[in-house]
Amino acid sequence: DTEVTQTPKHLVMGMTNKKSLKCEQHMGHRAMYWYKQKAKKPPELMFVYSYEKLSINESVPSRFSPECPNSSLLNLHLHALQPEDSALYLCASSQGAEWIQYFGAGTRLSVL
């Protein structure tokens, strides 16, 4: 099983809402990532968790709050987002020296 599953696929939220994105993998990977991808752009790294500990935070605004409850799950909690936060949010995982990243299909987020 080389699948990374992201839910929901689509999310529309207002600027005062609180919502969460979920990512799950069962490949035994110990590194998990959140990326933000705007239209016609490459993915931008937001956060990296290694062995359930936050290893990288790419100066992401505090309205994005990541959480890694266990080795298979990664959440991204959203609060008081801005319209410019509308994007495709991708989760990925990797393991070992080859550093191949396995991506989910993403959550397409619209902030109104």
Partner 1 sequence: GDSVTQMEGPVTLSEEAFLTINCTYTATGYPSLFWYVQYPGEGLQLLLKATKADDKGSNKGFEATYRKETTSFHLEKGSVQVSDSAVYFCALKDTGGFKTIFGAGTRLFVKA
Binding site for partner 1 (CB under 8 A): 4, 6, 31, 33, 40-43, 45, 48, 50, 55-56, 90, 92, 94, 98-106
Measured from the CB of residue 43, what is the shortest distance to partner 1 in angstroms? Answer: 6
Closer to partner 1 at the Cβ: 18 or 38? Answer: 38
Measured from the CB of residue 22, what is the shortest distance to partner 1 in angstroms? Answer: 15
Contact status, residue 60 vs residue 47, Cβ threshold 8 Å: yes
Contact status, residue 33 vs residue 43, Cβ threshold 8 Å: no
Distance CA 3, CA 25 (A): 6
Q: Quick one: tokens of 102? A: 């396995």
